[in-house]
Amino acid sequence: MTEAPQLLTPLPPPRPPFDRERFVFKTLAVVICTQLLIYSLAAGVCGQRALAGRPVGQVCPGTLEKLQMGFDSTLNLLLALLGGAALTKVERRS
C-alpha cells in the first residue's frame, strides 16, 4: 500500500520583537485619555452642582485643581519619556 503524501504546514511568520517605546506610548495614550474623561466628568458634575444653586465655595472644592495637577504630572512624564527615548537613539547612533 502506498501512503498518501503528507502536506507540510507552513511555519507561522516570526513574531517581531517587543517594541518597548510603542508599548509606553500606547499606555500613556490610554492614561491621558482616561484622565481627560475623568476631568470632563468632574467638571460636568461640578457644573451641575453650581447650576443647582449651591454657593461657589461649596461646589467641588479643590477637585478640579487636583485633577489639573495630575494631568500636568502626566504630561511631564510623557515629555521625560520622550526625552529619554531621544537620548537613547542618539547614543545608539554614536
Q: Which residue has the cell 517581531?
A: 16
State the burial class of residue 58 (Cβ atoms within 10 Å of its Cβ: 0-12, 13-18, 19+). Answer: exposed
Give the confidence band of 78 by pLDDT, cuts at 50, 70, 90. confident
Comparing 68 with 87, the larger pLDDT belongs to: 68
3-state secondary structure of 45: helix
Look at residue 9 in the predicted model and tell me its pLDDT.
76
Which residue pairs, CB below 8 angstroms and at least 24 apart, start in 83-91?
Answer: 85/21
pLDDT band for position 76 (50/70/90)? confident
Question: Hunting for cell 504630561 — which residue is that?
Answer: 75
